[in-house]
Chain A
Amino acid sequence: MTDLDIWLSHPAVQAGVLPFIVALVVALPLARTRWLALAQVAGFAVCVTLVAGWSLESLTSTRKLAIIGVASVALCVLVEMWTANWRAAIAAASLALAIAAIWMTWRVLVQKEPGPAIFAAVLVGGYVAAQCALSLQAGEDPVRCTSAAVVFALASGVVAVLGASAVLGSMAISVGASAMATLAIPFIRNVPPPRGRSVALPATAVAALAGAAAVLVADLSAYCLLPLLLVAPAARLAPALRPMRVRALVAFSFAVVPAACAIALAWFRPA
């Protein structure tokens, strides 16, 4: 193995360093537009390339997650273009991601008896839809929304790793790192990012899907995801302080509390 091979195969590089750098490069020209979230997809795509690859031979849940993550670009565009009825837009986007979540876990669902399969589908779809709706509702304040998305994605990645899937964990952590990159530019300039409801949608979608997948195809207990539903609301509770940097840091600290609870639940599992 060459030094480059060793570096590229390091989990921290695959899930953190490279996605952050790529997202930062893509975010620079988008920093003053409402399309900043697209940089999150770029960072995610880098992680997928390194960790899992893009082969579609045998569509596993992980590969479906990669496809949905990239397709979230289209969802961002639709959400931003849909200006007429904002509540309908949130509902439509949440429903789309719920259906995507069920599609992602379909191969596991069809192996269950009908009752448990429907229950699992409702849980998976409901969790992803709820996270999407919470993210879009919080989008009116892009600083707190993106801060929440960073914490949510990183925490989802950690619980997925604790749930025995490093691939799902890496994917979630990569969107967290990418979301951090999209926040980094406004943070450095101390200027809030432009208003864009979908500012955290790709990161939230991928992280929610990774967590749901970790429950069905790895060893994560479903109850570990419950505190993560409180991450976005916790960030919204943070005071909307004037300097953008302070607002982001305070929102981070509020969001970290439920995230830490989720990680603790995943770590201290019953024997």
Chain B
Amino acid sequence: MKRIPSILLALLLPAGAIAAGANYNIDSFHSFPNFSVSHLGMSTIHGRFEHMTGKIVFDSAAKTGSMEIHVPTATVSTGDAKRADGARSRDEHLRSADFFNAAEFPEMVFKSTKLNFAGDKLESVEGNLTLIGVTKPVKLNVTSFVCGPNPFSKKPMCGANLEGSLKRTDFGMKFGVPAISDEVKLVVGVEAYQE
């Protein structure tokens, strides 16, 4: 009688191992959050943050998971890092208290609350973004999502592109509105390796 539960346990274990979520560490060298805003209603200014870290837990069978992303706000980059004359550059301005206030809030954090699936396909990620000390919900739509071994190292990995938008005034970033648009479009490219 005692062997039966053991046999059952042995049969159940592999299934349990498959059902458990896999943990992934975000590859900072190949993951970047990008953003764009309308400038004076004339053109679009693009920028990104040069560094991103975080963890993803993903269980494709159970269709659950979580994502936590940390972005140092001082790494903002829009192609204007330094100017030859005495004027401050756009990137320096973005780091100041007028925008990302990197000195007071060195990091912005996105923590997912829900992963939405359409069948087997991950469709969107809902979560809370904490920016300049304010936390608001943000939804990111998944435009592509692929998991498989890295073709060179063979390490299991996943990659995704996520898109969304937010209103920066919701986070208290009021400077320059409407000359610099309130709406900020987000495109996040993520690659992560299984632990």
A binding-site residues for B, Cβ under 8 Å: 1, 5, 9, 51-53, 55, 57-62, 107-108, 111, 162-168, 213, 216-219, 266-269
Contacts and interface: CB of A to CB of B under 8 A. Distances in A.
B42 to A, nearest CB: 13
Contacts of A108: 103-104
Nearest to B103: A217
B88 A60 contact: no
A52 B97 CA distance: 11
A60 B97 contact: yes
A218 B96 contact: yes
Given A61-B97, A269-B86, A164 B175 contact: no
Given A57-B134, A58-B133, A218-B97, A107 B172 contact: no
A266 B87 CA distance: 9
Given A9-B179, A58-B133, A268-B86, A52 B174 contact: yes
B96 A162 contact: no
Interface string B78-99: 0000000011110011011110
Contact of A60 (B41, B87, B101, B179): B101
A270 to B, nearest CB: 11
Contacts of B103: 108, 111, 216-218
A165 B177 CA distance: 15
A266 B85 CA distance: 11
B132 interface: yes
> Closest 4 A-B residue pairs measured CB to CB?
A58-B133, A267-B86, A164-B88, A218-B96
A266 B86 contact: yes
12 contacts: A9-B179, A58-B132, A60-B97, A60-B101, A61-B104, A162-B88, A163-B96, A164-B88, A165-B93, A167-B97, A216-B103, A219-B88
A168 B103 CA distance: 14
B106 interface: yes
B50 to A, nearest CB: 18
Contact of A166 (B86, B93, B106, B177): B93
Interface of B: 41, 86-89, 92-93, 95-98, 101, 103-106, 132-134, 172, 174-175, 177-179
Nearest to A213: B97
Contacts of B175: 51-52, 166-167
Contacts of A218: 96-97, 103
B178 A58 contact: no
B96 A219 contact: yes
B86 A217 contact: no
B96 A217 contact: yes
B96 A60 contact: no
Contacts of A5: 178
B168 to A, nearest CB: 13
Nearest to A65: B97
A190 to B, nearest CB: 39
Contacts of B92: 164, 219
A165 B97 contact: yes
Contacts of B96: 163-165, 217-219
Contacts of B133: 57-60
Contact of B95 (A107, A213, A219): A219
Contacts of A53: 172, 174
